[in-house]
Amino acid sequence: MSGVATAVVFDLGGVITESPMPAFAAYEAEAGLPEGLIRRLNSTDPDTNAWARYERNELDAAGFVDTFEAEALAAGHRLDARRVLAALAGEVRPAVVAAVRRLRSAGLPLALLSNNVAPMERTGQLGELLELFDAVVESSLEGVRKPEPEIYRRTLARLSEAAGRPVEAAECAYLDDLGVNLKPARAMGMQTIKVADPSAALAELSALVGIDLLAAAP
């Protein structure tokens, strides 16, 4: 094996699982809301809005629903925030999971770094997926979220602890579907991959780690 990345950090939604964006768009169309409204609300006051506070566990589900609906109303629209939350459950991408398994079998330290609204279940299919990672870092447990630099520092610390050696930012490849989350990782020295097309992202990662991850795809 030869490559310039010797550890890998994965986002969950939009990378290992399908992005919620198509489900958001479907709800907007069904409810007669402007296209892209949910994304715009999530991007407005991104460090202090309902979404950010929910991902840091500063709001519970009921608090998020009330606050997010109030934000939508302030923007001139009524929506059902419970429908927005329901859109977060994306299907697993088998090709990406196969790549994670290939990386694990090759002995690379692996981390999962996720902005989420509640701790992930350690049972069933998700539990099996989480067991593939040496470190799982969740915003709802950490009280910080991407793109706050602290959560990336914590991820490196957890990887280092699991690997029994210092894992430096420069040796990490990091995959995320949102550019705003890639920017601080890149500033720390990580090698970043923006995931739009999963196959293209796996090809990029293959080049970085020196392993053909596309060959592992089902």
Examine the pLDDT at 1 and tell me if it is beyond 50: no
Taking only the tens place, the pLDDT of each residue in 16-41 is: 999 999 999 999 999 999 999 999 99
Q: How far apart are CA 99 and CA 203, in angstroms?
A: 10
- Top CATH class, 21-86: mainly alpha
Angle ∠(106,108,114) on CA atoms, nearest 5 = 125
The SS3 assignment for 191 reads strand
Enumerate the H helices of the chain as residue ranges.
Answer: 21-31, 37-43, 50-55, 61-74, 81-86, 94-105, 124-130, 139-142, 149-163, 179-188, 198-209
pLDDT at 214 > cutoff 60: yes
The residue with tokens 């302030």 is 74
Q: How many CB atoms lie within 10 A of CB 61?
A: 13
Name the more confident of 215 and 204.
204
Judge contact between 64 and 54, C-beta under 8 A. Answer: yes
What's the mean per-residue pLDDT of the chain? 94
Phi-psi bin for 76: left (phi > 0), alpha (psi -120 to 50), beta?
Answer: left
Report the relative pairing of strands 135-138 and 172-176 from DSSP bridges: unpaired
Instruction: Look at the block and give the residue holding tokens 């919620």.
Output: 20
Q: CA 167 to CA 158: how far, in whole Å?
A: 9
What is residue 212's three-state secondary structure? coil
Mean pLDDT is lowest, of 4-13, 90-99, 110-119, 120-129, for: 120-129
Question: pLDDT tens across 101-152, in order?
Answer: 999 999 999 999 999 988 898 888 888 999 999 999 999 999 999 999 999 9
**179-188 and 149-163 helices cross at what angle (nearest 10)?**
60
pLDDT at 216: 58
pLDDT at 2 exceeding the cut of 80: no
Q: What is the pLDDT of residue 218?
A: 57
Domain ranges of the chain: 7-18+91-216, 21-86
Q: Does domain 7-18+91-216 have CATH number 3.40.50.300?
A: no
Q: Which stretch of DSSP H or E encloses residue 176?
A: strand 172-176
